[in-house]
Amino acid sequence: MDRIDRKILNIFQLDTRRIAQSIGEEVGLSAAAVQRRLKRLRAEGVIAAETAVLDKALVGASMVTCIVTLSMAAVPAPAAHLDRFRRQMIDHPLVQQCYHVTGTYDFVVIVIAASMEAYGAFARKWFEANEHVTRFDTHVALERVKVGLSPPLEEPNWSSHAARNSRRYAPPSPARRRAGRPQRRHTEWRPRDGSPSAAGRRAARHAGSRTKTPMPAA
């Protein structure tokens, strides 16, 4: 899954009614390319389901949301009891979410019931009558502040790519720069009047000092 797939999923998971052309305008693809990518993501199981979120007030349902924390007894073969409880929660229609967690409790269960009476019947059957449940606490939601179904899809870690590119395009070392540098041509600077420069005069004196003066003939 590449960066474009993540962009498409970030948009699509917020509103599955968005058409491919609208998504393509944001990610820089054609509608056909977006449709091909969505089809592939569905086939790979990345898009597990496309559900409709209902407004309880508009559909006329006065439902009660209960967050339940419960502990299981540490009896022989605890794994079998945990697996049985998992299957029971998965199969029950009132259970919206169920998490096996760390800490003091073993499970956190989110139940939506039509009334407190309906939740009471559910709790008596599945919690109180279960001999392996040692304790459960029910927290009734007073207000639904936020319900999220869209996990944030972060950009992949590009640090390794950046490090590799920095090595690939690193400037050459001083030794490599010296080896590949053309040899400079040293030219003598002279003033505009044509007189020799100070460096030229020093070089001339040095050359003259090394020249042997012939001895005059007797």
Give the pLDDT confidence of 52-67 residue by residue, as tens digits.
Answer: 888 777 876 678 999 9
Extract the runs of DSSP E, i.e. beta strands, from 60-186.
Answer: 64-72, 95-100, 107-113, 133-140
Average pLDDT over residues 35-48: 94
Confidence of residue 81 (pLDDT cuts 50, 70, 90): confident
CA separation for the pair 174, 180 (Å, rounded) = 10
Lowest pLDDT segment from 58-67, 103-112, 156-165: 156-165
Structure tokens at 121: 């019947």
Residue 27 carries which side chain, given as an amino acid letter? V
CA separation for the pair 11, 18 (Å, rounded) = 8
CA separation for the pair 131, 182 (Å, rounded) = 88
Q: What are phi and psi of 109, to 5 degrees?
A: -120, 135
SS3 state at 177: helix
Average pLDDT over residues 4-8: 93
pTM for this predicted structure: 0.60
**pLDDT value of residue 73:** 86
Average pLDDT over residues 64-80: 87
**pLDDT value of residue 158:** 47
CA separation for the pair 91, 30 (Å, rounded) = 41
